[in-house]
Amino acid sequence: MAKREDYEAKTESFLMPLMEEYNYELVDVEYVKEAGNWYLRAYIDKEGGIAVDDCEIISRKLGEWLDENDFIADSYILEVSSPGLGRPLKKDKDFARSIGEEVDIRLYKALNKQKEFNGTLQSYNKETVTITLEDGTELVINRPEIALIRLAFDF
């Protein structure tokens, strides 16, 4: 297991009991390098939405635990936040919750001369995602070809 997956897995296992205790949902944990800095991010949610105070509670508890266990060799920035409006769909529970919702999909390489699609999520499995496009046609996309899939939002 690469260090990134190891750090994410350890962090996730610490956070799961906290999520149950506070009745939150752990949407995702990621350890990524951006603009020369490492970030350990935990995305949390709850019914009715997450507030700054919720993020602060989890951030404080997670920060203390990370300081005690000190298993991340690099210096990093800890962030605990809401997944936001355009939250990416990563886990099966995200897909299940989003059936019938409008999604935006970005592909790694073009399909039918197009890399971005918008449609209604109809179904998913381990290999594919099926959406209905605006014109009513169904499009089946292989999951490994998807760079990003998230709930669509209009302003």
Q: Long-range contacts: 122-130, Cβ < 8 Å, 24+?
A: 123/99, 124/92, 124/95, 124/96, 124/99, 129/95, 129/105
Strand-pair category, 37-45 with 128-132: unpaired
Give residue 97's pLDDT. 85
Of 28, 1, 24, residue with least CA distance to 12: 28
pTM above 0.85, yes or no: no
- Distance CA(78)–CA(91), nearest Å, equals 22
pLDDT in tens, 100-124: 999 999 999 998 899 999 999 999 9
